[in-house]
Every structure is written in C-alpha cells, then in structure tokens.
Amino acid sequence: MTTTTLWYATRATGIVALVLLTATVMLGVVGTARAASARWPRVVTAALHRNLALTATALVGVHVITTVLDPFAAIGLVAAFVPFSSGYRPLWLSLGAVAFDLLLAVLITSLLRDRLNHRAWQLVHLLVYACWPVALWHGLGTGTDTRLPLVLVIDIVCVAGVAWAVWWRLRLTERQAVRLAGLLTLVFAPLLTVIFVYFGPLRPGWSLRAGTPVALLGSHPHAAASGRQSGTTPAGRGAPPALAGAGFDAHLTVRSGPGAHERTITITGRTRTAPREGFVIVLHGNPAGRGISLTDGTVRLGRPGTAGELTGPVVRLAGHELVATVSGRAGQRSARFVLVIDGSAVTGTVSLLTVEGE
C-alpha cells in the first residue's frame, strides 16, 4: 500500500468508525429505557447495538493499523495503546489511544461476560459512553479533515444524534438531580466543542499548535490543501521549489535598540535544498518575560538587487509561526516561517505562497 492509500484509509476508517460509534451510543442510551416497538423488538435493537459496536471496533482496529503503517508521521504501535508516547500531536493522538483502550476493555469483558460478575461487566460496559466524546475530540484535534464542510456536517450530525438520545432518555427519568445534570451537560458540552473547533482546527496554523513536528509541516503530498483553505496557494508560478515547505538552518542574534528599552532580533538563514535561498528576519520589540512583545518586523528573501528579491513587513507572529507579506518584481507573496529556536540556532520550514486571484 502506498503512503497516499494509507493516508486516505486512516481518514476514512476514522470517520466511519465515529459514525458507527455514534449509532452504538444512541442505541445504548435508548435501550436503557427498554424502548421497543412492533417493528423493532428489544431483541432486534440489542442485536443491532452489538453488531454496530463490533463493526466500529473493527474499523478502529483498521484505523490504528493504517496509521502505524503510514511512514509519514512515524507513529509507533505503542502510541496506539499508551497515551503521550508519540511526538506527533501528542495530546490529540493520546485521546485516540484512550478511546481505543476503552473500546478494547469493553470488547474483552464482553467476550468474557459469562465469567465475570454482572455488575462488574456492566460498569466496564459503560465505558463505551465515555469513549464517544474522547473519540470525537480526538478526530477534531488530530484529523486533517476537520475543516472540510462534509466532515463538519458529519460531526454536527453525530453530536446532534447523541444529544437527542440523551435528551429523550432524560425525559423519562423521575430523578430531578439527574435530569438537571444531564440538561446542563447537553448545553455546555456541545458549546465547548463548538468554541474549541472555531478557535482551534478552523484557524490557520492549527497543525503547528496541535503538535505536528516542524519537520513534517509542508512535507505531505496533500499539504497544499491547507494553503487553499486559508486563502492562499503554493507559489508555483515561477517560485523557487525550495520555498514550498523547505527546511532551513539559521542563526539568531539579539542586540539593544533602536529605542532605549527595545531589542532587535535578527535571524539570518538559508534553505537546505537547491536552489538555496537566503533570508533575513528583523524583529523589533520590548522585553516581555522570556521573549519580546513585537512592535514591528521585516523579512527579506532572495539575493538583494535581483529579480527574485522579496521584502516586506511581518504581519503575524504567534508561537512558532511567523507570517510576512513580501513583494518584489514578481508581485506580492505571503512568506510563512515555522521557527524552532534553540539558543542562537534556529531551524524550521519556510513556504512562499501567493494570494489567490493574483
């Protein structure tokens, strides 16, 4: 299997597994009220619930296998079971490991049901309900498709389906404290999820903030999609190939000035691949903690005085990501740097993008 095939298989199995797990949770919640009808007697509902759970678990297994086999992110088999054992998006990948462990616990205890105390089996079986929100947030934070409209619709439908099942079940309970707690959860849990998605995966630069190693940013064959979604595309029309997510090595210096309390940070570097392009980043600001509060900055790419030289101001500096709007004879471009600073040594990647419609 090729890397691209594994990549698509991982995404597809993850999405379908979430849908099946949602249906499993809905049937489980409704089944606690012993709901039945002439068309759907309880024996049918229970069998469907069991088969959906088994199918979802199998798909999660395929999801894990394709993830481990895909060499792009180099996620080991241990990371599928042990949280925080991988450097790739550690928090969000760990949520996936937790969800997988919960599913395995439910599956194993179900196979050993005849040998277990019914109360103990029932308590473990309830873990599937905790597995669903963990799996949902794992997909939202780790998935590369969260920003796609179709995937957003699927996520919304899944949340709405579980919310409806819980609301329907709460209507039947006579315990006011349980009903109140459930209704508050139905209000705040989806709200927190919406806030997280809006300020997280839907914002530019989420890959870096989610914990994607710098060496992988811009190196995936499908990485150009993230540029199109944010209003830019790789500068392929005459742009140097080295400036399409290229790694670089640079040196950082700090000096006082130009103001009495200001500092000037200069980062001078060159890309590693041919044709090697040089750049200079100059940042001015005031000391703030262990860094500086940026007041202004400039970026220069290419050799001075040549047709390929691009210069312009820094328009965004957030965490490891720096964005500048640069221009030259070839027109206006957006230069995006991912900076990893270790003392005076700086490494990372640089991409040169062109604004759509230009």
Do 69 and 6 meet the contact criterion of CB atoms below 8 Å apart?
yes
- The pLDDT score that the predictor gives to residue 305 is 65
Do 271 and 248 meet the contact criterion of CB atoms below 8 Å apart?
yes
- The pLDDT score that the predictor gives to residue 96 is 93
In tens digits, what is the pLDDT along the chain, a chain of 358 residues?
Answer: 556 688 788 889 999 999 999 998 888 887 766 554 445 455 456 778 788 888 998 999 999 999 898 877 778 899 989 999 888 889 999 999 999 999 888 888 888 888 888 888 888 888 878 899 999 999 999 877 788 889 999 999 999 999 999 898 888 887 888 888 889 999 999 999 999 999 888 887 677 778 876 555 544 433 333 333 333 433 443 444 446 778 889 998 888 877 777 888 899 999 887 767 889 999 888 776 556 677 788 999 887 766 678 888 988 887 788 888 888 776 778 888 988 888 788 988 888 876 443 4
- The pLDDT score that the predictor gives to residue 33 is 60
Radius of gyration of the chain (CA): 25
The two tokens of residue 70 are 């895909």
- The pLDDT score that the predictor gives to residue 289 is 59
User: Quick one: CA torsion of 229, 73, 63, 228, rounded to 10 degrees?
Assistant: 10
Domain ranges of the chain: 3-203, 214-355
Do 235 and 353 meet the contact criterion of CB atoms below 8 Å apart?
yes
Nearest to 278 by CA among 245, 304, 298, 296: 304
Q: At a CB cut-off of 8 Å and minimum separation 6, what does 343 contact?
A: 252
pLDDT per residue over 120-149, tens digit each?
888 888 887 889 999 999 999 987 778 888
The two tokens of residue 260 are 């009495």
Residue 272 Cα distances to 73, 219, 247, 349, angstroms: 21, 14, 6, 10
User: String of b and e for 209-225 (b: at least 16 CB within 10 Å)?
Assistant: bbbbebebbbebeebbe
